[in-house]
């Protein structure tokens, strides 16, 4: 096994411990394991020549996400942002620990941590690719569930923020996805097409 394969196996084993499960195409998955696979798929679609660091980061972006509960932080935007910041540090540290254990050099480990923490997002092509992939996973697999429990106004705001995070490549991919009628309608509102 290559170091990449060893790292993927360890990342996947870790994410299989996610307490939440979902069903996709009739198969059950631990949620974070499923999303890691889909994020990796999107990264390879967006960048078929993706570097090893980007591939590693894609599989570990949200590793162990369930271990830091949103409910352990105060309600509201400030609490949410603090939770997100602490989570990204946790994901980067956990990924680094696993990468060290399989023998990766510090240069790759530091690069993976930068991508996971989304540093210099608008100036770093690989970080932007990761952001595009994260947005696409949300739109493809989580969007409809969120519509069901979110007001129209808030949903339009979320979509506008999602669009702002993506590059043109990400937006073009997003427009090629299949959406429910309600999903299409809300995207139309968010983008000013309705």
134 and 39: one domain? no
Domain boundary pick from 85, 117, 149: 117
pLDDT in tens, 10-63: 999 999 999 999 999 999 999 999 999 999 999 999 999 999 999 999 999 999
Sequence-ordered list of residues with C-beta below 8 angstroms from that of 113, at least 6 positions apart, any chain: 92, 93, 95, 96
Residue 168 lies in domain: 125-194
68 and 157: one domain? no
End-to-end CA distance of the chain: 52
What mean pLDDT, rounded, does the chain reach? 95
Q: Per-residue confidence at 122, pLDDT binned at 50, 70, 90?
A: confident
97 and 75: one domain? yes
The Cα 58–Cα 42 span in angstroms is 9
């Amino acid at each position: 096994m290559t170091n990449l394969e060893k790292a993927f196996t360890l990342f996947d084993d870790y994410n299989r411990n996610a307490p939440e499960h979902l069903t996709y195409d009739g198969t059950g998955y631990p949620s974070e394991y499923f999303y890691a696979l889909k994020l990796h798929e999107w990264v390879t679609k967006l960048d078929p020549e993706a570097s090893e660091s980007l591939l590693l980061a894609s599989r570990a972006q949200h590793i162990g996400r369930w271990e830091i509960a949103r409910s352990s932080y105060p309600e509201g935007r400030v609490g949410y942002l603090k939770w997100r910041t602490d989570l990204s540090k946790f994901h980067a540290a956990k990924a680094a620990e696993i990468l060290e254990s399989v023998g990766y050099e510090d240069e790759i480990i530091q690069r993976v941590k930068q991508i996971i923490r989304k540093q210099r997002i608008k100036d770093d092509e690989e970080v932007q690719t990761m952001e595009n992939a994260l947005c696409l996973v949300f739109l493809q697999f989580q969007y409809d569930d969120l519509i069901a429990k979110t007001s129209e106004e808030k949903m339009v705001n979320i979509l506008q923020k999602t669009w702002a995070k993506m590059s043109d490549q990400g937006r073009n991919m997003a427009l090629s996805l299949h959406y429910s009628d309600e999903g299409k309608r809300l995207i139309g509102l968010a983008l000013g097409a309705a």
